[in-house]
């Protein structure tokens, strides 16, 4: 763990990272958020909670996840060495289980009767349904009917895992409507229900709490890299949707000024086409969404704009408040990768290393593939491989006619 970080006290007592974050919620939710914060502050300092979480990370998730040196890929590119932090090897196949376990344990500690969430592609839904099955707490996931038809394997998994899946048919029947529907259910009884947010977004304390649960990634990676190489990597990169896997990786390295941190946003079909990318930090401006102040992509009317990415886990018109702050102070650089570059990286990593990455994670891989040839072979790039790509295999095969 990096000691005495000047970033560790973030956010402040009101949940702000500089001008971003906060708790921009209706008065009837303020108490519920304060209760969650108080409960979280209590359990995070309790040895029994930390021990339970640590033993689940080890025996249930399979942590620590290894770091793999992608030697063949590095040699082919003829530049820097590329290393992969294998969050794809976690139980359920991605980093999301790290914070879903934390949230489920918190819900149980608070005596909540139901955990509620929305899901888009179903990744958050599956991870949360898994954690709730393990902890033994009822779970209700809201999902747009259009997404339910598209994401069959995840829908089936959620049903097998025993969660209540609510099909949302209003409007466009996708993620936005699912959020609205889940939120309405939560508002019926915020004292007894808890809304489990799926990334480092939303009102305080979620950006902080989800970051803390995910920071295991960077804590492990920093130690593993030092032990093996006797030095830190030169560049550390991760994809950014809401920003949880990236902040989970970056937190341990924030004080290491020599380590260049790079968040990769989806440029989709092109940054110049409004509505066809999801590069919030690159193209958005400070605004407000889902209970927090952060960079937002807006349309001409000032509403959150339509967004697109080939990776459905990355298409969100806001982003985590800590990322906004880290961009403004220049500690993290935010780059972009197009759908095409992502697809190329998905195939390259599969065929050169035998690792099929999630399309989300393939954005970070694509940045490494683009950057490695500009560096020398004694430099090191550490990529957070946030998840595995089985979920995307049918889609990619159709697209490429495989």
> Near ligand PLP by CB under 6 A, which window of 21-29, 184-192, 234-242, 283-291?
234-242
Are β-strands 260-268 and 332-338 bridged in parallel, bridged antiparallel, or unpaired? parallel
Tokens describing residue 394: 């049918």
> Near ligand PLP by CB under 6 A, which window of 139-147, 292-300, 321-329, 355-363?
355-363
Told to check if 335 binds ligand PLP by CB under 6 A, we report no
- Residue keyed to tokens 């108080």: 38
Tokens describing residue 77: 């590119």
Whole-number minimum distance, CB 97 to ligand PLP, in Å?
Answer: 10
Q: Which of 144, 190, 218, 313 is in the footprint of ligand PLP by CB under 6 A?
A: 313
Whole-number minimum distance, CB 229 to ligand PLP, in Å?
Answer: 25
Q: Which of 244, 322, 336, 348 is in the footprint of ligand PLP by CB under 6 A?
A: 244
Burial of 317 (0-12, 13-18, 19+ CB in 10 A): buried
Whole-number minimum distance, CB 268 to ligand PLP, in Å?
Answer: 15
> Order of strands, edge to edge, in the sheet holding 380-385?
67-69, 81-86, 380-385, 235-239, 260-268, 332-338
Q: Are 5 and 254 in contact (CB under 8 A)?
A: yes
Which spans in 303-358 are helix H? 321-328, 339-353
Whole-number minimum distance, CB 123 to ligand PLP, in Å?
Answer: 4
Told to check if 125 binds ligand PLP by CB under 6 A, we report no
> Near ligand PLP by CB under 6 A, which window of 4-12, 63-71, 240-248, 374-382?
240-248
Told to check if 314 binds ligand PLP by CB under 6 A, we report yes
Told to check if 65 binds ligand PLP by CB under 6 A, we report no
Q: Which of 23, 174, 245, 278 is in the footprint of ligand PLP by CB under 6 A?
A: 245
Tokens describing residue 121: 């592609």
Told to check if 386 binds ligand PLP by CB under 6 A, we report yes
> Near ligand PLP by CB under 6 A, which window of 29-37, 233-241, 252-260, 394-402?
233-241
Q: From residue 31, how far is each of 27, 37, 291 by CA, in Å?
A: 8, 10, 14
Closest CA relative to residue 358, chosen from 157, 147, 88: 88
Nearest position to ligand PLP, beta carbon: 387
Tell me the catalytic residues.
Answer: 96, 118, 386
The Cα–Cα gap between 344 and 365 comes to: 10
SS3 94: strand
Whole-number minimum distance, CB 279 to ligand PLP, in Å?
Answer: 13
Which spans in 191-254 are helix H? 206-214, 216-229, 244-250
SS3 92: coil
Q: Which of 100, 240, 262, 324 is in the footprint of ligand PLP by CB under 6 A?
A: 240
Told to check if 199 binds ligand PLP by CB under 6 A, we report yes
> Near ligand PLP by CB under 6 A, which window of 68-76, 269-277, 356-364, 394-402?
356-364
The Cα–Cα gap between 169 and 101 comes to: 29
Q: Which of 239, 262, 293, 307 is in the footprint of ligand PLP by CB under 6 A?
A: 239
Quick one: residue 14, left, alpha or beta (phi over 0 = left, psi -120 to 50 = alpha)? alpha
The Cα–Cα gap between 79 and 379 comes to: 8
Q: Which of 39, 94, 197, 292 is in the footprint of ligand PLP by CB under 6 A?
A: 94
Q: Compare residues 25 and 94 and give the one whose CB is closer to ligand PLP.
A: 94
For binding to ligand PLP (CB under 6 A), which residues are involved? 94, 96, 123, 199, 239-245, 313-314, 358, 360-361, 386-387
């Amino acid at each position: 763990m990096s000691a005495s970080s000047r970033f560790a006290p973030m956010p402040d007592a009101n949940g702000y990272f500089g001008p971003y974050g906060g708790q921009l919620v209706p008065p009837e939710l303020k108490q519920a958020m304060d209760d969650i914060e108080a409960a979280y502050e209590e359990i995070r300092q309790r040895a029994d909670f930390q021990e339970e979480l640590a033993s689940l990370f080890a025996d249930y998730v399979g942590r620590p996840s290894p770091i793999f040196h992608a030697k063949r890929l590095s040699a082919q590119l003829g530049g820097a060495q590329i290393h992969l932090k294998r969050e794809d090897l976690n139980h359920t196949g991605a980093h999301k289980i790290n914070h879903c376990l934390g949230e489920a344990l918190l819900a149980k500690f608070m005596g909540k009767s139901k955990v509620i969430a929305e899901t888009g592609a179903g990744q958050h839904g599956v991870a949360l349904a898994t954690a709730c099955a393990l902890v033994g707490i009822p779970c209700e996931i809201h999902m747009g009917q259009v997404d339910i038809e598209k994401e069959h394997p995840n829908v089936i998994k959620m049903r097998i895992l025993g969660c209540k899946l609510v099909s949302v048919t209003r409007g466009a029947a996708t993620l936005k409507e699912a959020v609205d529907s889940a939120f309405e259910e939560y508002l019926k009884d915020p004292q007894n229900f808890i809304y489990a947010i799926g990334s480092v977004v939303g009102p305080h304390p979620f950006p902080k709490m989800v970051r803390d649960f995910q920071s295991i990634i960077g804590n492990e990676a920093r130690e593993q890299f030092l032990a093996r190489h006797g030095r830190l990597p030169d560049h550390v990169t991760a994809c950014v949707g809401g920003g949880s896997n990236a902040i989970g990786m970056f937190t341990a390295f924030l004080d290491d000024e020599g380590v260049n941190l790079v968040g990769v946003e989806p440029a989709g079909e092109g940054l110049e086409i409004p509505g066809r990318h999801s590069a919030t930090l690159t193209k958005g401006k400070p605004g407000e969404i889902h209970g927090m102040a952060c960079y937002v992509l807006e349309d001409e009317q000032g509403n959150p704009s339509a967004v697109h990415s080939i990776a459905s886990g990355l298409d969100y018109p806001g982003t985590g408040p800590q990322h906004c702050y880290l961009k403004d102070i220049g500690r993290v650089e935010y780059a972009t990768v197009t759908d095409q570059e992502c697809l190329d990286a998905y195939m390259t990593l599969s065929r050169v290393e035998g690792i099929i990455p999630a399309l989300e994670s393939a954005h970070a891989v694509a940045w490494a593939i683009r950057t490695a040839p500009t560096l020398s072979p004694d430099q090191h790039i550490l990529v957070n491989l946030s998840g595995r790509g089985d979920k995307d295999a049918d889609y990619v095969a159709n697209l490429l006619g495989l």
